[in-house]
Each structure stands twice: as C-alpha cells, then as structure tokens.
Amino acid sequence: MSYKEEYRKSIETPEAFWAEKAEAVKWFKKPVTILSKDENGIDRWFADGEMNTAYLALDYHVESGRGDQDALIFDSPVTDTKQRYTYSELRDAVAKFAGVLKAQGVEKGDRVVIYMPMIAEAVIAMLGVARLGAIHSVVFGGFAPHELAVRIDDAEPKVVVTASCGIEIAKVIEYKPLLDEAIRKSAHQPDSCIVFQRPQVTASMIEGRDIDWATAVATAEPADCTPVKATDPLYILYTSGTTGKPKGVVRDNGGHAVALKYSMKAIYNMEPGDVFWAASDVGWVVGHSYIVYGPLLAGCTTIVYEGKPIKTPDAGAFWRVCAEYGAKALFAAPTAFRAIKKEDPDSELLKQYDLSKLQTIFMAGERLDPPTYHWTKETLGKPVIDHWWQTETGWAICGNLTGVEMLEPKPGSSTVPVSGFNIHILDHDGNELPNGEQGNIALKLPLPPSCLPTVWGDFERFRTGYLSEFPGYYCSGDGGYKDDDGYIFIMGRTDDVINVAGHRLSTGEMEEIVADHPAVAECAVIGINDPLKGQQPIGLVLLKNGVEIDDAQIEAELVAMVRKEIGAVACFRRAIVVQRLPKTRSGKILRKLLRQIADGQEYTVPSTIDDPASLPEIQEIMGRNGLVS
C-alpha cells in the first residue's frame, strides 16, 4: 500500500483503521467500542477492551514460541558488563519482581516511582509494575532531588524503586542519597523503597523502609498479569512545561500497545526477531516507547546501553554496539551524532566495524539540522530518517513510514504526517496558513491512539494547556510549516520549552530558580543555539538596587543553584548581569527578541516596546560575553 492510501484511510475512517490495527494485539477481551468519549469529553480508544501490556510484551511471545529468543541485551561499557535475557528469562524476572511489589502491597492503579540508571533492572521494574496493572512513573536519573521530590508529591507512589548508583562515563553517581534527600523534601512518603545494589557502590539502607532488591527477589512468588482496561493508565511521565511544575503525561494501556506495535512495522520497518536499538534513556519518552515497549511488543530484541556516543571509550561506541548485536535500526538524538562527528570527523573508527545489518538511522528529540543529516547519511551510507514527536503523543507525529512506503527524505524536514495525525498549520487566530508559511502546528481531533488523555491529577491543565488555544485541535507547542509536497518542517517551540542535548527542559522553571537568589531583581532565561547540544540555556539577570556583588560570583552562584535544583543535565552555565531587560509597556520581557539577538537573526523592534534603547545595550553585552552566534 502507498503512504498516501494508508494515511488517507487513517484520517477518513479512523475507527475502521485502528480497529484493524488492534487485531494485531492479543486482548484478554477484544474491544467492541473503538472510539468513544470519556467523562471529560476526551476521545478514548478501545474503552471496553481488556489486556495487560506486560503480558503482550513478554508472556505472549513465550506462548507463541519466542521464549528462547533474546528479548533484551544489556551492554555497559562503563562497567564492562554484557548480559542477555531471552523472552522466557525476562518474563520470569519480571514476574518475580512483580511478586516483590505485590508483597509490598502494590495493586492495580497504585503508583510506583522508578529512579534508576540505564540497567536491565530499570526495564524489569517498569514491566513488573505494568504486570500488576499498577502505574509507573520513571524519573530520569540525571534529575536532582528537588525534581524527584516534586514528582513523588504529584504521583504519590506506594513504592519507589532505585539503584545504588549510576555511572556517567567515569563518574559514579550515588542515587540513594539523592532519593533519601528527595523523600525528606516531599510531603508524600512512600511505604517502601526497593534498592538494587550495584557492585560499584553499596547504598546505606533505612531500616523498616528500604528493601534489598536481590534479597526480596530471591524469596518472591512470581505474580500473574492483572487484566486492565485499555483506558487504564500504564504510566505517568513528567515532562517540562512552561512553569516550574512538570506535567504528568498520562499514557493508557490499550491505545499505546496498538499504536506502538503498529509503529514498529509502519515507521521502523521491524519484524519480530530483528534487533532494534534506541540509544536513549528510560527516563525519557523515547526510552519508554522504543527501548522498552515498542521493541518488546513487536517481538524484537532491544538493547539497554549504559554509555555515551563518545568517551565510552571513544566515538566508535555506537558503531561497536550496532555491529556486535546486528542492530537493524538505530534511533538516537542528533546531538549524539554531532558529538561523534566532532570527535571523529573523518569517521576513522567506523572502519573497524561491520555495519552491514544496519539498515536505517532514525533521529528525534530535537531538530535534525541539515549538516548533521548529510554527515550521518554520507558517513554511514544508509537512509537517515528524522521524525518528530513528543512525550505527549508517545510516538511519531511526523515521519517517514519506511515499512509502508519510504519517501524521499528532505533535509530539515521530518517528512510527512504519520497515520492518524491530522496536521494543520495555524496562525494565532486559528486560520489555516498557506504552504510555506510558518505557524503553530496543531493536530485536529481526534488524536490517534497512545496520545495523552489528561495531565495526571489535573485535567484542567490538560484542557487549558493543549486544547483551548485552537478549539477542536491539540496545540503541539511547536512551530513550523508545510511545503507543497506536504512535507512538514519543525522549526522549534513556540513556548518556553527548550531542548538541550535532546533533553526537554523549561526555561520558565530555570527563571523561577534564578529569581529566588536574594540579589536578583528580575531575570530572563532563554535558549540559544549551541553547535553540539542544539540549544543551551543562558540567564540574563538584573540585580536589585544597591546590591554589591561581583559578576563572576553571581554567575557561579546562579549556576550552582540551577544545578542543585534541576540537575547537571540542565547545562545552565552562563548568567550575565545586565542593566535593563527589553520589555513591553505592560512589563512583559521580550524573550523572543532576546533569542533573535542571541541567534544573530534580524529582528523588528515591536511597537509595544517600552525602552528601545535597551536593545543595542543588551546586544553589546551579549556579544561581549560570546552569546551571539
């Protein structure tokens, strides 16, 4: 079938389209209702279907004769460890861990927070929670205690699962003290914490609360799969919004399983038994969807890689993993390839590896800039596919459906809308823009399966944040345009969200932290272009009258504050003192203008500006500090 035909069916007859795709899933109770509205008036998929996602990811394959096939390969250059789990072994490990959780009182609908590094046990913990019909909330290991505490308070987990440490190249990051601090800071207190002790660090345990993973697993009774409704939540994944409070994106079980299984063939062209490698982290949506659920739902082999594209031990790390395990597809963020290109521009290291099994490279998480696209394509001599998606959708909104019909990629474009996503480019008043004109990217409702039905515990935030700006549409928060061939070009966020090395962060949250410094009267944090990480945040701060503090000192203090509150991953390294910030007459800081200045773009001075003289002044300060590209 052609892409056009596949896409047309998904938009014109969505119920028939997704009912057919749902046939690929083994339901405990097959859904009769394909699309309906929930109590909030939100479109829901397969409402009367019953299933269990962990069953579909593991038991189903064992029952269908895939028990001896590798399900998961753990490869950790930082600890020199390699480990394989067949589908039977992974199913057994997950059933035992689910038994441990059950013994701690975890039941269907309960929340379990998982704060772990990239080890196989993180996947076992996620699937163990899913097996019980409970809801996991994985928190990225690079987040600081404050971020973890905010998530614990919002998700109110019965149990938290962690490991004694993670390894960042050569740095050992002790997780347990971070978790203990987060629990001290949070109002909600979990009943217990399960700790996986790694050989590099033995975490100290709190009597009566902390449970040793290995000891508990040794005596656990394996737990069975609990049937859940398709619309019951599988997980909550917090993501950055425009304020300091992250949004708990809720993912359902049924729509997610159907969409992800479909995507493995339609987008990634994977067959059962193929090796799929998403070089991301389980703390992000890419990790949830394409390290854990997608490959396992499709009967593929997934790779859990505890390492980086460079320095573990060198810029040939990705090629080594692909060659060693015969990966058919590699999925990573463009920043990873920029890092490899910087270290090994002539790709000398590639010559050591046989990548004949690798067919396609997929990229997402941030804009794939044309130079990185060309370098990767020419270096590897394979198709490079950009695809655009968000935590909120759980899978690609735009892409190249390589398993349906591979279209000719266009550098700078994430190709065309994926089945079910009805994309429109709208101006601020909600009018459709002509081809070639940049505007807000909005998705006409209903959204296809897997997209969020609410923000955890806060439907109003979902409604106002996503559905109210353009009635009848989901507002993506991204801007871009469509060309005459229907190709979509994503040009960046229209809000205060930035992407640093493929990590989604909120400048609004950083502003809240910076503004908390006693010397700071006002501040703006903006994302500026960065040749390696895509974007990096910088702070522009106005000091309170009469405050005497050295510029270098205030910068160091602010950098330390953001690092402590959010984590090193925020990459907030510059805070510059300014005399004035450009504002509108109503007092709103002109952040877009500041971004344009930093990016060396032409700008028009808005008629609403209060103090036009502030512009050349700030331009000079930013230039002097090396912040203008």
Q: Which does 17 bind (CB under 5 to 8 A by kind): ligand AMP, ligand COA, none?
A: none
Given ligand AMP, ligand COA, none, residue 294, with its beta carbon under 5 to 8 Å by kind, binds: none
Instruction: Find the part of the chain contacting ligand AMP (CB under 6 A) among 65-73, 385-393, 421-429, 598-606.
Output: 385-393
Quote the least distance from Cβ 601 to ligand AMP, whole Å: 18
Identity of the residue numbered 519: A
Q: How many residues does the chain have?
A: 629
Contact mark string toward ligand AMP, 245..284, x via CB under 6 A? ---------------------------------------x
Rounded to the nearest whole angstrom, what is the least distance from the CB of residue 333 to ligand AMP in the complex? 8
Residue whose C-alpha is closest to residue 19's, from 47, 42, 40: 47
Q: Does 148 bind ligand COA (CB under 6 A)?
A: no
Residue 141 makes contact with ligand COA by CB under 6 A: yes
- Burial class of residue 184, CB neighbours in 10 A (0-12, 13-18, 19+): exposed
Binds ligand COA (CB under 6 A): choice among 569, 575, 618, 627: 569
Is residue 276 a contact point for ligand COA (CB under 6 A)? no
- Assess whether the previous peptide bond of 177 is cis (omega < 30° from 0): no
Rounded least distance, CB 190 to ligand COA, Å: 21
CA distance 31 to 525: 48
- Tokens representing 513? 């932290």
Q: Which residues inside 520-539 make contact with ligand COA, applying CB under 6 A?
A: none
CB of 402 closer than 8 Å to CB of 360: yes
Contact call for residues 251 and 387 (beta carbons, < 8 A): no
Q: Does residue number 172 form part of the binding site for ligand COA (CB under 6 A)?
A: no
According to DSSP, the residues that pair with 480 across neighbouring strands are 439, 490
121 binds, among ligand AMP, ligand COA, none (CB under 5 to 8 A by kind): none
Nearer to ligand COA, 98 or 570 (CB): 570
How far apart (Å, rounded) are the C-alpha atoms in residues 436 and 39? 39
Binding to ligand COA by residue 420, rule CB under 6 A? no
What residues numbered 480-499 form the site for ligand AMP, per CB under 6 A?
490, 493, 499
Give the up-direction half-sphere exposure of residue 233: CA atoms within 13 A in the CB hemisphere.
23
* The only residue of 387, 517, 591, 595 in contact with ligand AMP, by rule CB under 6 A: 387
The CA-based dihedral angle spanning residues 163, 323, 347, 74, taken in that order and rounded to the nearest 10 degrees: 0
- Please say whether the beta carbons of 136 and 163 come within 8 A: no
CA neighbours closer than 13 Å in the CB half-sphere of residue 341: 18
Considering only residues 143, 388, 462, 572, which one is a binding residue for ligand AMP as defined by CB under 6 A?
388
d(CA 56, CA 76): 27
Q: Which does 333 bind (CB under 5 to 8 A by kind): ligand COA, ligand AMP, none?
A: ligand COA
List the x/- string, 438-457, binding to ligand AMP by CB under 6 A.
--------------------
Phi and psi torsions of 117, nearest 5°: -80, -175
As measured in angstroms, the least distance from the Cβ of 327 to ligand COA is: 15
* Parallel, antiparallel or unpaired: strands 534-543 and 574-577: parallel
Please report how many Cα atoms fall inside a 13 Å half-sphere around the Cα of residue 231, on the Cβ side.
17
The least distance separating ligand COA from the CB of residue 334, rounded to whole angstroms, comes to: 9
Please identify, using beta-carbon distances, which residue of 131 and 493 lies nearer to ligand AMP.
493
Name the one residue in this structure whose structure tokens are 């000079």: 620
Q: CA 239 to CA 245: how far, in whole Å?
A: 9
| Beta strand spans in 382-472 (E) | 384-386, 388-389, 396-399, 416-417, 422-426, 439-444
> Of 67 and 166, which has the nearer Cβ to ligand COA?
166
Interface with ligand COA by CB under 6 A: which residues? 141-142, 166, 168, 173, 279-281, 284, 286, 308-310, 332-333, 335-336, 339, 364-365, 501-503, 568-569, 571
Interface with ligand AMP by CB under 6 A: which residues? 239, 284-285, 364-368, 386-391, 414, 477-478, 490, 493, 499, 504
